[in-house]
Amino acid sequence: MRLQSSAGRALLLVALLLPLPPGEGRGEGSTSANKHPSPNLATAKIIDLSHPFDEKTIYWPTSPSSFKLEKLAYGDTPGGYFYSSFAFCTPEHGGTHLDAPIHFSKTGRTVDQVPVRQLIASAVVIDISKKAEADADYRLTAEDVRVFEKAHGPIAVGTIVLLRTGWGKRWPDRKRYLGDDTPGDASHLHFPSYGREAAELLVRERKVGALGLDTASIDYGPSTDFIVHQIALGAQVPGLENLANLDQVPEMGAWIIALPMKIAGGSGGPLRIVAVVGR
Ligand SMILES: [Zn+2]
């Protein structure tokens, strides 16, 4: 008994001395991103970064279904009051949504396990819209991140990084947004996103809280290995995809509130995300 309990204490000591597992320090408790002054919610401008869910909502070409809203009731009742109610059905990964770490990582958190603290943080917006306009397959480079940091200072731990590609304006035109609108075929897609080295720098060195953008994926259209998903989700860093209105969010100073539907065990889900900008 005595030996077991001292062995237990030794194990606990070792666990305390080991480096924190991936994900720790990004979402639990205070992070450097939270030390940025937060805007006053009473007077701040709130920008809606979610596209509506409807029959035009864009899903991955191989998705077996899309958003469905079924009317259960709508109209005046015998009781004299109006009543309406609907049922909705959607794959997790379509429209404005969150990729939970388990989407590409066996040991990743499910959507209900992502700490909400990680999803409410100060943000930076990195603009690659000019480069993406010239090259639809443009990927953010580590150098782009360093240039951004030279102008704005280092990206703090826990920051929600948003990539502005200009693609939000193409929504909901499937062909222009995804680069191809062939149903069931995801092999001819073209749109910009994060690149591998930039993702490694942001996730492993800067320890950011989330990677978001205004295209369909945190990997660019032609990707077949989804390496940015592997890097980010493998480190408990969620993706925020198909964001709207990023042109209205300043490069520095905004706070993000990105709360997905709390699907127990889910690999992602519909996301209502807003930017809070002081004024
Ligand atoms: Zn997704």
pTM summary value: 0.90
- The predicted pLDDT at position 27 comes to 66
User: How long is the chain?
Assistant: 279
For every residue of 124-135, DSSP letters joined together read EEEE-HHHHHH-
- The predicted pLDDT at position 20 comes to 42
- The predicted pLDDT at position 5 comes to 55
The tens digit of pLDDT for each residue in 40-99 reads: 999 999 999 999 999 999 999 999 999 999 999 999 999 999 999 999 999 999 999 999
Picking from 236, 204, 252, the residue whose alpha carbon sits closest to that of residue 27 is: 236
Residue 51 Cα to ligand 1 middle (Å) = 14
Classify 9 in phi/psi space as left (phi over 0), alpha (psi -120 to 50) or beta: alpha
Residue 97 Cα to ligand 1 middle (Å) = 6
- The predicted pLDDT at position 14 comes to 47
> Do residues 72 and 64 touch, judged by C-beta distance below 8 A?
no
- Which residues make up the environment of ion ligand 1, defined by Cβ < 5 Å? 93, 99, 268
Residue 203 Cα to ligand 1 middle (Å) = 18
Whole-number Å distance between alpha carbons of 113 and 22: 14
- Which residue ranges of the chain lie beneath pLDDT 70? 1-25, 27-35
Indicate which residue of 103, 188, 190, 229 is catalytic.
Answer: 103
- The predicted pLDDT at position 16 comes to 47
> Do residues 211 and 194 touch, judged by C-beta distance below 8 A?
yes
Q: Does residue 103 carry a catalytic annotation?
A: yes
Residue 217 Cα to ligand 1 middle (Å) = 7
Residue 46 Cα to ligand 1 middle (Å) = 24
Instruction: Name the amino acid, one letter, at 270.
Output: P
